[in-house]
Amino acid sequence: MSFRVRLLLAILAIVVLTTALSLVIAQRQNRATFQGLAGELFDLQSRSFRERQAIADAAAVDEIKRLATSVRLFAALEENDPDIYKITADELRLGDFGFFRLLDREGQLLPLPPRQSGSFE
């Protein structure tokens, strides 16, 4: 094998090794950057979700306090009014209460009227 061929093979080997090493280093840097950004994004989204949930919880507490002082609602509870959930929706001025249930004086759940079946309009 001539000197020229050996020199060409040596240069080719150096280029291949340098390229492979550069790719490995770039991959590690990209992985570290991606993991850092993904972690920061997850933390940011998680914090944002908790803040929005706290705001929603505070609003719900305010609505419950307002509902707890409703004379109209307590009168309907005392009379066992079948439209109690309609009155509740009117008092809160909100739409769907599929998750919402009221208790009577004994602490028993008041059943939903059959015609409403999860939606209070």
3-state secondary structure labels for all residues of 7-75: HHHHHHHHHHHHHHHHHHHHHHHHHHHHHHHHHHHHHHHHHHHHHHHHHHHHHHHHHHHHHHCCHHHHH
Summarised one tens digit per residue, pLDDT across range 56-71 is: 888 878 877 888 888 8
Summarised one tens digit per residue, pLDDT across range 98-116 is: 566 777 777 787 777 665 4
* Domain positions in the chain: 3-56, 70-121
Contacts of 100 (CB under 8 A, 6+ apart): 85, 88, 120
Indicate the pLDDT class of residue 78, thresholds 50, 70 and 90: confident
